Amino acid sequence: MNTLIIGSGFGLYGYLPSIIDFSKKIYLSIKYKKKVENRKDLKKYLNRINWYLNLYSISDKIDCVVIAQKPKNQHEKIIELIKYIKPKIFFLEKPLSNTPKNSLSLIKSLSRKKIKFVIGFMFKYLNWYKFCNRNINQNQKFKIIWEIKPNKKNNFWKFNHLDGGGITRFYAIHFFRLLFDLNFKKINYKKITKKKCCIIASDVKKNFFDICIKFSKSNNFKVFLNNKKKFDGPNPFLKKISKDKDPRIIIIKKHIADNLKKKDINYDYEKNFILFWKKLEKNIN
């Protein structure tokens, strides 16, 4: 598999070390070379990278495309690429585009070309998610609190709702996907502002998820079952994230391995998730 990675941030420090063992060749823009050379955790991959000046010149060599850019740029890049590249799979970041409307339009474009894509919703590989899924029975009450200390340096878009960021589109959307995948589609309560997203949802067996994500002065993540704390850490990965030790890498590898095995994509399922996201966002204050 020959892999093209687009994105000089998470594309390099997240996806490059995660997908390299699945790839025969890695293609990166020459613009990223200094970044790779200057990071201790990445420069060991230099001899595996094929640098390109013109993307069109390598279009016939690409089987897999990774895009890790802000949602609007991701959308524009996909539309550009599918004019002359038909990869076997796109690995994309969330949200798919900067708005639900634009995301639906992008799914339509990809389905028309019959191109498989997967979005980076990876919390299902984490122990607390597996615990919740395992313990869904009847009349169970799950509570998740995620407090986030904003760091806007070089990532201002992540806090801009219209760009596909903000508390809802960059952070809470992980839990929109959790509710959708686990079939908690009845919304009993929601309060969404620019700094906080709180939702209570239930399933047909009267299990409840009470989820609250908010900006705070410190980073905290907690999971409760029936008022008893079960998990506690600085973030959903429950470990500190650093250049030397990034707990996300092993999760991304699982995400890649699982999705390379799948032959097809259910476009309607992805479309219905976007409609669920749109519904949750309605009437944001």
Q: Which residue has the tokens 């994509």?
A: 265
Summarised one tens digit per residue, pLDDT across range 93-139 is 999 999 999 999 999 999 999 999 999 999 999 999 999 999 999 99
Residue type, 272: N
Residue type, 88: K
Summarised one tens digit per residue, pLDDT across range 48-105 is 999 999 999 999 999 999 999 999 999 999 999 999 998 999 999 999 999 999 999 9
Within 149-219, strands assigned E span: 186-192, 196-202, 208-215
pTM: 0.95
54 backbone dihedrals φ, ψ, rounded to 5°: -125, 120
d(CA 190, CA 158): 22
| Separation of CA 242 from chain center | 19
**Sheet containing 208-215: which strands, arranged edge to edge?**
186-192, 196-202, 208-215, 141-148, 220-225, 228-233
d(CA 4, CA 77): 12
pLDDT band (50, 70, 90) for residue 263: confident
Radius of gyration of the CA atoms of the chain, in A:
19
